[in-house]
Structures are given as structure tokens and as C-alpha cells.
Structure 1
Amino acid sequence: MPLAIGIGKDFLPQDDQSQFEVTVKLPSGSSLQGSEEVMKQVEAELAQLPGVRALLTRIGADIRRQVDRASVIVELVPIEERKQSQQELMLMARERLARFRDLTIGVQLPALIQGATRYDLQFYIQGPELDRLEKYASVLMQRLSEVPGVRDLDSSYEPGKPEVQVRINRDKAADLGVSVASIAGALRTLVGGDEQVTTYREGEDRYDVQLRVSEEFRNSPDALERLYVPSAKLGNVPLANVAELVETTGPTQIMRWNRQRQIMIQANLVEGQSLSNVLAVLNRTVDELNLPPEYRTGLIGQTKEFGRAGRAYLMAFVLAIAFMYMVLAAQFESFIDPVTILLSLPLSVPFALLSLMVAGENFSVIYSSVGIFVLFGIVKKNAILQIDHIKAIRRSEPVGRLEAILRGCEDRLRPILMTTLSLVAGMLPLALGGGAGSGSRRTVAIVVIGGQTLCLLLTLLITPVAYSIFDDIAHAPLWARMREMAGAGAGSLRRAWSGVTGLLR
């Protein structure tokens, strides 16, 4: 249990894909020309990394196509042609780009969906008031920044976007017969335009007519004040008579989910930091904040799938033990012998986790769990070889239990050792090899090699000892009396059932 709690747990291992993505978030309100100049400097820094083969820069790389968002896809030469691994080059990229103080930069694997992000950690906080959400998010981000191995920390809340707020004098507007809807409609047409104010026919063709005020009449608050809005009493009224224009700043976007405002916190994990350790820090910080009931937190994206996969793995673990017990009970026609065989399985798990810790790997819920199930199959097979041969000797020869155990273990020692050595030899190339997908293969191989090798001696000792103990229990007087009572009860039930069926006939 201490090993299971202490080892770091991740969703997927980190593979060398010979490419990574650098996402860049420029200050709010940056122009296209300014973003292009900054990205040229970012490209120049990334081009100096060893092993870079090509760069692809996109401006407006997010879902909303904002010109102050950009990304660079860095393609590397094959792993055989470079000395540094992809993870080392990603760390070097972070160090080189650290001089851009005004930029928010993330370095991660390329996103599977264009415009999306692929952060290792994605955490949200949700509630009705944006100001309180910003306060809570700031506390969480401050705590995460103190955790070693947490990089590229970012928040979806971005204040500081220049904007003009229209503050309507509702009493004055009511006196002049101007509705709030008419003011909003006029401003919308002025700034954003109307995509279809009417239609124009020419023969059989029909064209939509769009309306938008020229740029020189909508690029300043003074120009907006000259706008006229319709009045039910006076015809048209200047906007300045019913509203005040105030220059201020605000968030670039307000995220919502289920009609609640939401702020998302994202980060990447480097230098062996595990997702489970970071989530534990987040959960403790949320408990310390003592959030009101209308505020809640949660996980999304890959981080959410990590929790779901962990619960599914525990369910699969329990079901695997149950199905193995049922199959073994049917094979040996005994309820005790399967327990003797399955006792070796819990002994293999600590050694598998210890092997991962020694190798500096985290437990991958997807791949390391596969290695655990493979390990169960091998360890269980070794125990079956011992128990089956011991029982065969006792049935075929008039020997005592101790002699049968000694002979059975001696006869089955060679095949068990041969099976273990062949398995370890087959897994060594996976554990030591490189290339594409080596990270995924390595986590499976280390679990099987370490778990089988280290628990071999214990299973060779524990299985015969457990068989001897359970055999004593099976032949104990108390157990014999319980079997007699169970047999008598079964006989009474059979006689009662025969009587009932006889009456029915």
C-alpha cells in the first residue's frame, strides 16, 4: 500500500514523437503585424535548437482565430540522428523562450484536433461571480507554481482587453422614448455590421445586402457618440443624450458551462512529475479555500480521463481475480486450491511498483496496468505448475504430504526458471530499446521484468507453504464437522424436495 500511494501515476507515458508544439499567447489586443514580428523572433530561437528539421508557424491558431494567438509546430530529425531526446529539447525550448516576458508560452505535444490544446493538467473552477472565480484561480495558480515540475501554467481568464462600455441612462432614455434594444441594435450595426438588412434581386438571382459603417466613423468613442438611435417620440436622438461611453478594460472571453461562469487552469508536467501528485496538491488547496456551495471544481480533457481510467482499472483488477478464481475452482474441483494459487498474485504487485520507482518511471494507468495483468498470468501459471504436480504425486503414489511437496517443487523448479528467463529475455529489448513508441513499451516491460524476477523466490516458497497450511485446515476436525453438517443439510433438502415433487405427481 505505501508503494501504491508513493509512486507517481500518469495517464499515458511520454513517447518520443520527433515533434512538439509551442503555443504562444501574446498580450491582449495585439495586431496581426505585431504578432507576425514577435513570431519571427520565436522562430529564430527555436531554429537554433539541435535536431530541428522544420518549423511551421500559424497565427490565429486557436478555435476563435484570434490574431494574438499563435503556435509553432517543431519537427525534429529521427531519434537515431540526434543526441537529445524530445523531452530534453522541449526543456531547452522553454529555457530559450523564457526571455519573452510578455508572452505566455506552452510547450507540449501537438494537439490531435486543430485549435485545441494538449496540456497534461486541465482543471476548472465554476461559479456565478467572475471576480471571485478570478480570486480563487489566482490562489490555485500560485500554489501550482510552487510545485516542482509544473511548467507552462496558464489560465483561460485574461483581463486587460481594451473596450468601450455603454452606460445607458434608463430614466432619460424612457423620457425620450428610446428603448435599450434599439440602442443595442444600432451599436451592433455600427461596429459589427448586419449580415442581411435586405435582399437584392437581379433576374433569377437574389443577393443579401450587408450593412456596416465605414471604419473612420466607428474607430473611436467620439465617433460612436455621433450615432443616432430611433426614438418613439422625437424620431432620432443622438446616442450621447441617452448613454455615456466609458473606455475601460475587460476579459477577452468569458467561458461558461451549464449557464455558470468558468475559469480553466492548464499546465504541463516535466522532470518526472506525476499527474497524481499535482492533483493531490490541487485538492488540498481547494479544501483550504472552503468554497461556497455554488462554486465547484473538476477535471476535463486528459486529466478527467485519467480518473476514469483509474477507476476502470480497479474494477478490471477485481474482476480478473474473480474470474481466475472461478476458472481455477472448476479446474481443480476445490474451493481452497484456487486461494492457494492466487496468494502469489498480491506478492508480485509491490515488486512491479518497486521496479518502476527504481527505473524512474511513473505508473501509467493505460500501459503499466497491462503489464500488471500480464504479470498475473505468468505468476499464476507458475503456482499452477507447483500445486497441480503436488496433487498428482499424492494421488498416484502413497507418499506423505511433505515428501510430495518437496518432490513437486523440485520437479517444477526447472520449467519455472526456464519460463521466467525466457520471459525476461523477451522483455529486455522492449525495456532497453528506443525509437517511436519506446516509452509505452518500456513501462510494460519494466513491470513484467521486475515483478516476475523479484517475486520468483517468494512465490516458490509461499505457494508450497500456503498449500500445507490450507491442507491442514481442510483436514482439521472443525472443518470435517462443518462438512458433515453441510452434507446432512444437503441430504435433508434433497429428501424434502423429493417429497414435494412426489406430492405434485
Structure 2
Amino acid sequence: MNGRSSISAWCIDRPVATLLLTFALVLLGVVAFPQLPVAPLPEADFPTLQVSAQLPGASPETMASSVATPLEVQFSAIPGMTQMTSSSALGSTSLILQFTLDKNIDTAAQEVQAAINTASSRLPQDMPSLPTWRKVNPADSPVLIMTVSSAQMPANELSDYAETLLARQLSQIDGVGLVNITGQQRPAIRVQAQPEKLAAIGLTLADLRQSIQQTSLNLAKGALYGQHSVSTLATNDQLFHPEQYAQLIVAYRDGAPVHLKDVATVINGAENAYVQAWSGHQPGLNLVVFRQPGANIVDTVDRVMEALPHLEERLPAAVQVSVLNDRTQTIRASLHEVELTLLIAVLLVIAVMALFLRQWSATLIVSSVLAVSLVATFALMYLFGFSLNNLTLVAIVIAVGFVVDDAIVVVENIHRHLEAGDSSREAAIKGAGEIGFTVISISFSLVAAFIPLLFMGGVVGRLFKEFALTATSTILISVVVSLTLAPTLCALFMRRPQHPEHAAPTFGERLLAGYARLLVKALAHQRLMLGLFGLTLALAVGGYVAIPKGFFPVQDTGFILGTTEAAADVSYPDMIRKHQALAKIIEADPAVRAFSHSVGVTGSNQTIANGRFWIALKAPGQRDVSASEFIDRLRPKVAQVPGMVLYLRAGQDINLSSGPSRSQYQYVLKSNDGAALNLWTERLTERLRANPAFRDLSNDLQLGASVTRIDIDRQAAARFGLTTTDVDQALYDAFGQRQISEFQTETNQYKVILELDARQRGKAESLNYFYLRSPLSGEMVPLAALAKVAAPSTGPLSISHDGLFPAANLSFNLAPGVALGDAVSILERTQRELGMPASISGTFQGAAQAFQRSLSSQPWLILAALVAVYIILGVLYESFVHPLTIISTLPSAGLGALALLWLMGQDFTIMGLIGVVLLIGIVKKNGILLIDFALDAQRSRGLSPQAAIHEACLTRFRPIIMTTLAALLGAVPLMLGAGAGAELRQPLGIAVVGGLLVSQALTLFTTPVIYLALERLFHRRQAAATAARPIEN
């Protein structure tokens, strides 16, 4: 790219065109920036569907065998499904279906609906409705959680207001995808039958159910078509209030009517009587708001908050709505921190340039290139559909060092020609022309290091695709701007520097003089330098093997998720009392801003023995502990509540668990032998609990649920023409919260529930009042004549499946200082030590599974980056040998990154890995600057290899130091940064800073030695090949 034919010369000759085109580029970026969505992380949608099925009153075994299994058989035939899990509890089954990342979620939904339709003939006929599905995204957390509470209003009325006036209206706001209600008690009319009164007048629960079903209907009635008008027919066929149901005539005895109120109590209640939620200590519920895929989180939440006052005006004065967790607060704070980090990085880089160039015009030119490149990147981000998030902004921060590299190399070379006496224009043309190929080599080899990131699989690959492409875009833009705008501005504004004749040596000159002395010694002891390189390589490999490894750093989002677990046979009132005791402990902690909690079957909670806590902490500056430290502080306090365990985990922006989890990490055991699975799960759990590396370890078996078993005498039943189905139906009427009817209003549909009177509902003795009607004689047959209550037993509170097999889920957190990689090794070793049979298989799920996959791919990712860089350099230099010299700079960088991560107590996580990949792109720049100059000196001026590399080291010392310092100082704010999101950014900054420090200290001496060694090896082989060639006559 020498001479006037280069693109730089064209731009220098056309400054107006160059400036206008640059302005257009900047304008595109300025226009695009406000249009970019804002998010904590890039989009990482997992195509996932949740299927829910209800059969109130059905046991976990019934739900698993009669509902879950028929559905699983059909779902397993759907192509592209990677994981299918189910959990069946009393009256409900929830299935989670995950598909490959390239599966269209709408296509998957259609196939799931078709599978449900096919399975419907095998499902219980008395299910209130067919199973339903909804789209979920495990990687996407709620953007807003609000509490709706009232001290005076009944819970069912509060739920009705929350659903009809809030949830439905909020779901229509632009950007809102879904609004879930947890702790909801949907209004219903409950008919509480008194079995002794029914028996006294010869009625059964079946009689009562059929009578109610037939007297409250909403059927089509037609219309009157007259000569001049049409009139729609309407009747009072529906009943809406308990008083109306109480007046129903259910039978006649001795000519007198028997009203429903004579044999039952009719009340306003809830569909599920065993659900309760609180906002603090006040009864309430949660509104959980999710965004639509791709929607701007900040704009969505702003629109919700803007609409909220208008919605509150329509609510009764007794209802309060408050925000429990607003994710935009941490997102705004995190993005502000990154923006501040970017500003600091830019200022530090400019300071370095001013220190070395000692000319404000040169400093401002490089700063202009930096500004244009960064702003123009926003235009490409908009074009690619990216968002402003922690990773893309970190990519831009890191790119600050890369971007100025190109500009520094160009401007410094032009500056050197000015010092030699050339005019501004000639210096710009010569300097840019000489260095153009070097700039392209540096940038293209840097881009090559990012290529493997684009091919990473799974959710990690999706997260870092935006990171890699954003950084690549910035680098490629900087190449163009550095070779067009920078020379043009240099020709217009840079002048020959004026140095006093007897001026003291500058800082850069003193540094160069010291380096020159050390370089002579290094070249005189080449074997020692090669030995040092070998030692560095060995230490880098050993450090990688030895350093603790993790997945993603644990973030402090200021939000804590809790799951409670009591004895499997705990009563509903006892569960409430235990929850209230926990609530008092949590409220007393000074770090807590607000909290809510719930018990019963609601949302993802399927059993009475489990509950949920949502805890919002104060802002970081207003509390004395991090989220993890808060959990450690609270753990011994909540352990004082007898018969209750509270599992806590910090909410994360990256959530890879497809279902509810008690702790941060999950491990799943499965087998076709349920008894063996239960036995070995308990053994493994007990062994791991004794290991100090694990915290909050638990499994979801919960086998101690109380079971009251009724043995039916089939022969006795047959004598009366009755079957076991008749007995089951009678029990279901009494104890199943059976939905027997419904009524519609203008805004909603409500259920009518049949059950026993509250005094009889929890006692087995109430079975003595049960009667069934014989279809043979019509007489009343006491249940006691057909069945007897067996001795109490125990059973599972819930049943889990993974695929088509019974499964048990282990959840765990890690003790401080324990890496996920170590925990994985301990768990796998413990399984082997226990001698777990081969019929039981175990796999990690969620973040632990993603960690395992990323761990196995880490060496290949680093190797792929090295190979990509080698290929690009080999193509550019038309050489197999010299790219090896350039790549030889990398082991010291890897060693420095690992060493500093270890010294600062950081695991080698995905963010550290990305830092190492970045170093592969950054550090080889030193080698390129040296090798490019040395090769040119050998070829054009005939210098010896040693003279060429010696001159290259001294001539390119200043740009090497400047560019390295620029990259290093660009990463320092990431390493030292605090505030929201710092946990994600710090490992990357530490890796880059450590790698640059060590590599800069070593490669300036080892690279010239390796260059000479490879030159000697190459020429020796070339000479041998020439000598072996036969002489032609």
C-alpha cells in the first residue's frame, strides 16, 4: 500500500469528500443510538413451552400415570425436542419442553397442541379442561414484579381486581408479553355440603352435584324474528351469588322442597382454598410482568409505570399497588457504570497518546478516529438487531484499546516522517502508505480471534455472538477510518514538532534507551530467552489445568429468590404459621427493602409443603452486604424456625434453569426403577451434605406425605350394582374441591366448587356419613358397608419425570471460594465412591450443564482462535514460518491472565475465557509490528536477520508501548469497576490487564529471539534442500 495509489493518498487529495463521508458515518450512528433496545444481556431465547394440566383432588401418582405419562408419550415424538421434564403433585401436572435453538417456537407450539389433542382420548374424562401450554423463556427474567395488597378486602375480591383491572390492562401495553399472578385466589362460589344432613333426607353428594349442574346454565336460546324487528331471547338461567344458589331446590321430601341451604353452606370463596400470599405481612399477591421478545426493557417498564397511576384510579381506596422489583433499576445502573467505564477508558487512552506523541494535533486526530469508530458502531448494531447491554457495551469498552491501535500506528508513523523533515502532506502519504499493510494485518488477525466465538453453541454462543460482532464491527470501522480520516487530518493539521537543541530526554526517549540496553543483552543470550519462553508456555498450560473453573460470576442484582420446604405432611395452617415466622426474621434484616411470600399451589409452586419468598434488597450504597453475603447472614437465623427450611439464591440475569429451582445449580438422577432411584438419591444427598463444598443441598423427593388409604370391597359393591368408580366419584365430590359448574359475567368466568363442610373435611370419621345410591334398588348404601379405612401410610408429595423415566432433582449452592468445576468433580467422584448402579444415570441441568459443555469446548475454542489467527497471518505474509513467531507472543499473555485471576481470587469463568480470546487478538500485534518491519528491512535493504529485527524493535518500540498501554488502560476500568454488573465485567478486565502486563514484559525480548531461531531453522532446511537437489547436466 505504498505510494500515491493507496486509499490513504486518495483521501488526502480529497479532504472535503473524506470529511463529509465521515460525517455521514457519524450521523448514522447518532440516529441509530436512541433506537437500540436496552437489555441486561443479549437475547438468548430458548424455545421452551410449559404445559399445565389440572385434575383437582387427584393424587400425585394419578397425575403422573394418568396425565403426565400419556402426554409425555406424545410429546416425545415431536422433532427437535432436547429435554422434557414433568412434575406431578396433588391435582396438577407441569411439563417443561425444551427444543433446539433453531426450532421455531410457533411451529413447536402447533406440534404440542396437536400432541395434546391426540393424547386427550387417554386422559381422565373428568378433567375440567384439556391441558394448556404457554411459551416461556428460561433465559428471560421478569422485568417488573409488583405487589397488590389490602388490609380490608377479602383475598378473592383482591384477586379479581388484580386480574380484571390490572393484569389484563398491563398485558395490552406495548412491549409487555405476559403478566402472571402468583398467590392468586380466583373468586368462586363454594358449596360446603353437610353429609349428615344429606344422609338424613336420603340424598348423596352425586344428587347434589347433578342438581346444581342442571339449574345454572348459560345456553343458546335463539331470537324472535318479527315482521318489523328481531328480539334476542334471554332468561335468568344463570345464578351469580351465593344467596341465589342457597335457594335452589335440590329435592322434595314429603311434598316439601329441600333447599340447598338446608344441606349445605354456600359462600363466596376461592377456586383453591389452600393458597395465601402476602406483601410483607399484609395479605396480597404478585403481578409478574414479562416483556415480549426483543422489546426494550426500559421503555416497556416506563410505559407500565406511566399507565399504573391511571389503573390505580379505578381500584378501591383499600387496595395498594407497590413495586417489589424493577429490573430496569439495575439495568440503568449497570449501563451507567459501563458508560462511565467507557468514558474513563477513553480519557486514559487519550492521556497515553498525549504523553508519548507530545503534540495535541496528533492526540486529537487519534481521538477523532476513536470517536468516529465508536459512534459508527451503533449504526451496525442497529442494522444487526443488537441491543445496548452489558456485553455489547463491554465489547465497545474493550475495543477502545483496539481502535486506537490502528490510529496510533498510522499517526505515529506519519509523526516519524515529520520528524525526519517531510512536509505534512508527504509525511501523511508516506506514513500511511508504509503502514497500511501492517494495520490491515493487525486488524484482520484480531478479527480472526473472534471467529470461533461466532460458532459457540448453546445459550453461551447466543450471548457472545453480539459481543463478538460488536467488537468486530468496531475494529473494521477503525481500520477504514484510520486509513482514510487519520491521514487526511494529519495532512491538514499536523506539523513538524519543534524540539529545543538541548532539551532533556523525554519519558519515551529514556524508556527507549533502557529497552535498547536490555535488548542487546537478550540477543546475546538467546538460549536463555528460548528457555524462558519454554518455561512460560509450560506455566501457562499448567495454570490453565490448575485454576478453579466456573461458569458465569454470581451477580448481585439486589433480588433474592427463596423456596421453603416443610415436612411432606404439614398442614396448611401450620405452613402459614411457619411462613409468618420466617417473614419476621427477614423483615428484621437491615438490608431488606421489601418482600413478599406465598404458600399453597400457585404459579410454579405445586404443593402445600412448599412456598416462595421474593426479597428485594436496598440499593448497594444503602446496605452493608452483597446479595451472597446477605444469604450467608440470613441462613443461620431462618434455620431457627422449627420444621422449615428456606433455600435462598441470588437472582441472576443469566438463568438457564428451565423450571423452578431451590438453589443455583441442579443435578438430575433418573432410572426406570423408582424404588432404587429414591434409595440412591437419599444416599447421595446425605453424602454430599457432609461435604463442606456444598450449601443448601436438597432433593425434591419429599416421600413422607401422609396417605389415607381406603380399601373397597368390590364384591360387596357389586351386590348393590356399584363400582369402584362410583366410590371414587363420591370421594372426589367430598374432598377434591370439584368444579361442578361455572357462571359468566361481562368480564370473567367463575367456578362453582363442591366440597364437604369445613368441620368434616379433614377427618376420616366423616366417611361414616357417606351414602351412595344403589342403581339396582334405589336405596341408600352407607360407604362403611363397601369400604374401610386402612392404616395410614406415606407416599410422595410430588413425582418428577425426566424424559419418560422417574427422576429426582438435586439442587445446591456453593460455599464461598468453591468453584463450580470443583463441585462437579466432587459430585461425580462421590457417585463412583458410593457404587451407584449403572441403571441410575445422572446429568447436570441449567447452569451446571452449560458449564460442563463450555468446559469441554474451552481448549478447542482457544485452539480454534489460534488456528484462525495463524491462517490469516499465513495468507497475509505468504509464509508458514513467520506467523509462528507472531503467535509465540501468546503463552505469556495466557500466563499473565491466569496468574492475575488467581491472585485476585477469581475463578476462570466464561468471561475470563473471553478475555483470553481477546488477548490472542491483542498481544500478537506486538509481533506483527516487529516482524512486518524486519521482513521489509531484509527484503528491501538487504539487512541481516539480526540487524533487521534489532532495528525493528527500536523503531517500533514507541507504537508497541503506546498501543499496549492503550489496550491495558482501556481494560483497567473494567478490572477496577464497581457497582451494578461489575461481577460480569471484572474477570474480563482482569484477564486482559494481567495478560498485557506479562506479555509486554516478556515478548519484547523473546519475540526477536524466536524470530532469529526460526530464520536460522528455515534457512538451514532451505540450504539442505538445495544441497540435496541433483545437479543437472
- Normalised to the residue count of structure 1, the TM-score between the two structures is 0.84
Letter of the 2:595 partner, please give it: L
Q: Distance in 2 between matches of 1:387 and 1:95?
A: 62
Is 1:78 the equivalent of 2:619?
Answer: yes
- Distance in 2 of aligned mates of 1:152 and 1:355: 31
Partner of 2:844: 299
Partners of 2:1018 and 2:835 lie apart in 1 by 55
SS in 2 for 1:107: strand
Q: 2:593 matched to which residue of 1? A: 53
| 8 A contact 1:166–1:243 mirrored in 2 | yes
Aligned to 2:935: 391
Contact 2:627 2:650 survives alignment (8 Å):
no
CA distance in structure 2 between the partners assigned to 1:210 and 1:150 by the alignment: 45
Does residue 325 (structure 1) correspond to residue 876 (structure 2)? The answer is no
Select 1:419's aligned residue among 963, 984, 1002.
963
Q: Structure 1: which amino acid aligns with 2:835?
A: N
Other-structure match for 1:346: 891
Question: Are the counterparts in 2 of residues 20 and 74 from structure 1 also a CA contact under 8 Å?
Answer: yes
Taking the TM superposition and a 5 Å limit, the aligned residue runs for 1:56-135 are: 56-60=596-600, 63-110=604-651, 116-117=660-661, 119-135=663-679
Q: Residue by residue, what CA displacement relative to the aligned partner does 1:301-350 show, whole Å, maximum 9, x if unpaired?
A: 22222223334544433332222122111110111211221222233223
Deviations 1:226-282 (A, max 9, x none): 545687888776544554422222221111222321111101123121111111011
CA contact (8 A) 2:562 2:662 kept: no
Distance in 1, matches of 2:1019 and 2:721, equals: 100
What SS class does the counterpart of residue 10 from structure 1 fall into? coil
1:128-277 matches, within 5 Å, as 128-168=672-712, 179-192=723-736, 194-196=738-740, 212-215=755-758, 218-224=761-767, 227=770, 238-241=782-785, 243-246=787-790, 247-277=792-822
The CA deviation at 1:175 is 7.9
Q: Deviations over 1:137-163 (max 9, x none)?
A: 222222322333421112101132222
- Which of 542, 548, 566 pairs up with 1:8? 548
Residue 906 of structure 2 corresponds to: 361
The answer to whether the Cα contact below 8 Å between 1:351 and 1:451 also exists between their aligned partners in 2 is: yes
Could you tell me how far apart the structure 1 residues matched to 2:752 and 2:574 are? 33
Instruction: Give the aligned partner of residue 1011 of structure 2.
Output: 467
Residues 938 and 945 in structure 2, CA contact (< 8 A), matched pair in contact too: yes
3-state DSSP of counterpart to 2:660? coil
Amino acid at match of 1:79: P
Q: Deviations over 1:376-430 (max 9, x none)?
A: 1111111111111111111122221112122222222332222222322222222
Q: Which moved more, 1:89-98 or 1:105-114?
A: 105-114
Confirm or deny: 8 A CA contact 1:55 1:73 kept in the other structure.
yes
| Residues 400 and 69 of structure 1: CA distance in aligned 2, closer, same or farther (over 3 Å) | same
Unaligned runs of 5+ in 1: 486-505
1:7 and 1:363 in contact (8 A); partners too: yes
1:275-294 alignment, distance < 5 Å? 275-294=820-839
The residue type paired with residue 75 of structure 1 is: A
**Deviation digits for residues 40-65 of structure 1 (CA, Å, limit 9, x no counterpart):** 33232223333332222333466135
Quick one: distance in 2 between partners of 1:48 and 1:207? 40
Structure 2 letter corresponding to 1:28: A
Cα offset for 1:133? 1.9
Match of 1:253, as an amino acid?
Answer: S
Select which of 556, 576, 579 maps to 1:36: 576
* Residue 351 of structure 1: how far off its partner (Å): 2.4
2:891 partner letter: P
On the 8 A contact 1:109/1:118 being kept in 2, the answer is no
> Between Structure 1 and Structure 2, whose CA radius of gyration is higher?
2
Change (3 A) 1:32 1:184: closer
| Cα drift, residue 371 of structure 1 | 0.9
Cα distance in 1 for partners of 2:645, 2:851 equals 26
1:207–1:158 distance in 2 versus 1, CA, 3 Å: closer
Q: 434-443 or 305-314: which moved more?
A: 305-314
Of 245-254 and 59-68, deviating more is 59-68
Contact 1:344–1:463 (Cα < 8 Å) also in 2: yes
Q: Please tell me the root mean square deviation across aligned C-alpha atoms, in Å.
A: 3.3
Moved more, 122-131 or 63-72: 63-72
Choose 369-378 or 80-89, whichever is displaced more.
Answer: 80-89
- TM-score scaled by structure 2? 0.43
1:500 — aligned with what?
none
Secondary structure of the residue that 2:956 maps to in structure 1?
Answer: helix
Cα pair distance change 1:271/1:101, threshold 3 Å: farther
Partner Cα distance (1:477, 1:84) in 2? 65
Equivalenced residue count is 480
**Cα drift, residue 441 of structure 1:** 1.0
* Alignment-mate amino acid for residue 909 of structure 2: S
With over 3 angstroms needed to count, the CA separation of the structure-2 counterparts of 1:228 and 1:308, relative to structure 1, is farther
1:160-207 deviation line (CA, Å, top 9, x unaligned): 2222123455677678876544444443333215434x8999xxxx99
**Partner Cα separation in structure 2 for residue 432 and residue 262 of structure 1:** 44
1:62 and 1:70 in contact (8 A); partners too: no
Seq. identity, %: 27
Shift of 1:10: 1.8
> Are 1:110 and 1:118, in contact at CA under 8 Å, matched by a contact in 2?
no
Aligned pair in 2 of structure 1 residues 121, 199: CA closer, same or farther (>3 Å)?
Answer: closer
Q: 1:166 to 1:32 in 2, by over 3 A?
A: closer
CA distance in 2, matches of 1:131, 1:378: 57
Flag the 1:59–1:172 CA change in 2: closer, same or farther, 3 A. Answer: closer
Please tell me whether the aligned partners of residues 668 and 842 of structure 2 are also in contact (alpha carbons under 8 angstroms). yes
Task: Report the more deviating stretch, 285-294 or 106-115.
Answer: 106-115
Distance 1:482 1:408, change over 3 A: same
Shift of 1:354: 1.7
State whether residues 191 and 213 of structure 1, in contact with CA within 8 Å, keep that contact through their aligned partners in structure 2: yes
Residues 49, 92 of structure 1: 8 Å contact kept = no
Q: State whether residues 341 and 383 of structure 1, in contact with CA within 8 Å, keep that contact through their aligned partners in structure 2.
A: yes
Q: The residue matched to 1:388 in structure 2 has which SS?
A: helix
Q: Does 1:457 align with 2:990?
A: no
Query: SS state of the match for residue 261, structure 1?
Result: strand
The Cα of 1:7 is off from its aligned counterpart by 1.9
CA distance in 2, matches of 1:48, 1:237: 58
Give 1:283 shift: 0.7
